[in-house]
Copies of this chain bind each other. A is one copy, B any other.
Amino acid sequence: MTTPGSPCSEHTIRRRVFFYEVDSAGIVHFSNYFRYMEEAEHALWRAAGLSIAHREAGVGFPRVAASFEYKRPLRFEDEVDIRIRITAISQRSMKYTCELTRDGEAIAIGSATIVCVTQQPDKSMKAVTIPLGIASRFAVSAGAAS
């Protein structure tokens, strides 16, 4: 839960599985879990009063790592809860874990690490300090060690 003004450390969205996300084995294609995680991440940023795509600060947040462990399949029209939590914040990066559940049953658990970068004139990316206006809006989740 987010007290207005206080930093955000986690967020949960509920979302229904779309037909085009299900593969010919009748289950959500494993690549789509990474998109679900991103949806929850961006909802977390909105809950923090931010948009991950706001370019005013001239920075972007590409991923340097992402993973999922799959426990149970998801099927068409299932309603899934996607809970994202911040597990670490450093000067230039942030780590998340992401739990997918359906009616409280564990579906999958994922993680991702994003890094704050600016794009160089040659289009390469360089890691930089997360702007204070962004970093101050987030905090590590108390439950992250559990």
Residues of A within 8 A of B (CB): 18-20, 22-27, 29-32, 34-35, 38-39, 42, 46, 51-53, 60, 62-73, 75-77, 123-125
Report copies per complex. Answer: 4
**Which of A23, A27, A52, A60 has most B Cβ within 10 Å?**
A23
B31, B67, B76, B123: the one contacting A20 at CB < 8 Å is B31
Contact between chains at A67 and B70 (CB < 8 Å): no
Question: Chain B nearest CB: distance from A129 CB in Å?
Answer: 19
Q: Across the interface, do B38 and A19 meet the contact criterion of CB distance under 8 Å?
A: yes
Does A66 lie within 8 Å of B63, measured CB to CB?
no
The chain B residue with its CB closest to the CB of A67 is B67
Interchain CB contact under 8 A, A22 and B23: yes
- Cα separation A26 to B38 with both chains bound (whole Å): 17
Which 4 A-B pairs give the minimum distances between C-beta atoms? A67-B67, A31-B34, A22-B24, A30-B63
The contact of A64 among B20, B31, B70, by CB within 8 Å, is B70
Write out the residue numbers on chain B whose beta carbons fall within 8 Å of the beta carbon of A27: 62
CA distance A18 to B35 in the complex (A): 9
A69 with B73: CB separation less than 8 A = no
Q: Is the CB of A35 within 8 A of B31?
A: yes
Complex A-B: 29 CB contacts under 8 Å: A18-B35, A18-B39, A18-B42, A19-B23, A19-B24, A19-B52, A19-B53, A22-B24, A23-B23, A24-B24, A24-B26, A24-B53, A24-B76, A25-B60, A25-B62, A30-B62, A31-B32, A31-B38, A62-B73, A63-B70, A64-B71, A65-B67, A65-B68, A66-B68, A67-B67, A67-B68, A72-B124, A73-B125, A75-B123
